[in-house]
Amino acid sequence: MKPAAFEYHAPASAEETVALLAEWGDEAKVIAGGQSLVPMLALRLAAYGHLVDLRHVEGLRGIEHRDGRVRIGATTTQTTLQRSPEVGELIPLLVRATPLIGHFQIRNRGTIGGSLAHADAAAEYPAVALTLDAEVEALSVRGRRRIPAADELLTAVTFPVWRGPCGFAIEEFARRSRGLALAGAAVAVGLDGDGRIDRCAIGLFGLGPTPRRAPEAEAAAVGSRPDEQDADALGRLALAGLDSVPSDLHGSADYRRRVGAAMVARAWRRAVREAVDG
């Protein structure tokens, strides 16, 4: 099939972009790498009267480390992040999640902003952003703010840098290599000077309409020593209060819960091992 007819716009600035979005409202859609949007348009799963292409918009790419945070421009490609020594050192969880996204052809075109804006429940980048308490920067005709809305442009995402002994891991289960995750978990663990867990974040994806955190499991881990935690029990706790787990032809809700708990346990073991070993 071919997409429904649309008008194409190629603005040169972020300000011009948000003016177009404000003018056309729900009829307009931003396109960055297009790796998620184009197939939806081609299959007529989505239709828009206006497509606003970000390829020529200046100032939306790049990686900047300042004041203990890493700011990544929205149109920075996934391949750029995967190959960045700076991101690998400061935000290792983001780099480890990147190879799980499709194939290299997709990562060459796909962008971090596109992935976050598309917000697929099984996608890796939204889960990582949630796990690491990233802040999303958006621009509209009313100015900049942190919460995106329909007539705003996602311009960047900022990740806090974890210091001290810490470990990170992401695990997912999919029916085929590089396929959408049936269940996945991202884990970050930090240790204090006495070797106790003083910071813990557990993100879940593929297990509901949006990525979720596991606050009860996080709270249970903080203050303990790594060897005091049973990874399997922690995984079950992370899934215990989760509602709206999907049930479809790929797996029942109960099956996804069991797989999700196993992914949490697996990611927990890897993250803790890295934190302890330094």
Predicted confidence (pLDDT) per residue in 136-158, tens digit: 998 888 888 866 445 678 999 99
Low-confidence residues of the chain, pLDDT below 70? 1, 146-151, 178
What's the Cα-to-Cα distance from 86 to each of 31, 76, 201, rounded to whole Å? 27, 14, 22
Domains of the chain: 7-53 (3.30.43.10), 63-160 (3.30.465.10), 166-277 (3.30.390.50)
pTM: 0.90
User: From CA 239, how far away is CA 183, in angstroms rounded?
Assistant: 11
What token pair was written down for 172? Answer: 């997912």
Which residues, 6+ apart, have CB-to-CB distance to 26 below 8 Å? Answer: 150
Residue whose entry in the numeric block shows the structure tokens 């606003």 = 52
44 CA to centre of own chain = 26
